[in-house]
Amino acid sequence: MAQRYDDKGFVEVCVFDDGLTIAGNINSALGTSLGGLEAIQKAVDGLSTKSGKERGTGLQNIVKLVLNGMEGEILIVSGDGMLYSNISGAQGYNLKDPNTLKGTLVALRFPIQQREVNLYEIIK
């Protein structure tokens, strides 16, 4: 889902995947036992379960683009972990049943851009 709020000056984008959580994917592929928040933080920091340098950096690049390039904010909820980040920093939370999410939600909010943002400069 996505919506542009001209009167408020921002755009919101939300994507939900009801498959494996980030922790479920990492733990299955790497044989680890990370919790939801720890897995989200590691994925945002660049941990990937994909082979090859060009694969598995999508979440990390989206976070860089939204925070550094667009000065926006991002919310990631996956399993029993939740991470909220904006240009000032990040806050993480551990969720408890029945509040865990069966899947992963990524929600972005960023100002309507008045300038061009160079993706390649942001993600290098």
For the stretch 88-107, pLDDT in tens is 999 999 999 888 899 999 99
Asked if 101 and 78 touch (Cβ cutoff 8 Å), the reply is: yes
Among candidate residues 45, 54, 5, 7, the one with its CA nearest the CA of residue 26: 45
Task: Dump pLDDT digits (tens) for 30-55.
Answer: 999 999 999 999 999 988 887 766 66
Q: Cα(37)–Cα(21) distance, rounded to whole angstroms?
A: 11
Alpha-carbon distance of 66 to 36, in angstroms, equals 22
- Report how far residue 63's alpha carbon sits from residue 65's, in angstroms, rounded to the nearest whole number: 5
Of the candidates 37, 41, 21, which has an alpha carbon nearest to the alpha carbon of residue 81?
Answer: 37
Q: What is the pLDDT of residue 55?
A: 61
pLDDT tens column, 3-36:
999 999 999 999 999 999 999 999 998 999 999 9
What pLDDT is attached to residue 53?
A: 64
Indicate the average pLDDT of the chain.
Answer: 91
**In the chain, domain spans:** 2-123
Q: Are 103 and 16 in contact (CB under 8 A)?
A: yes
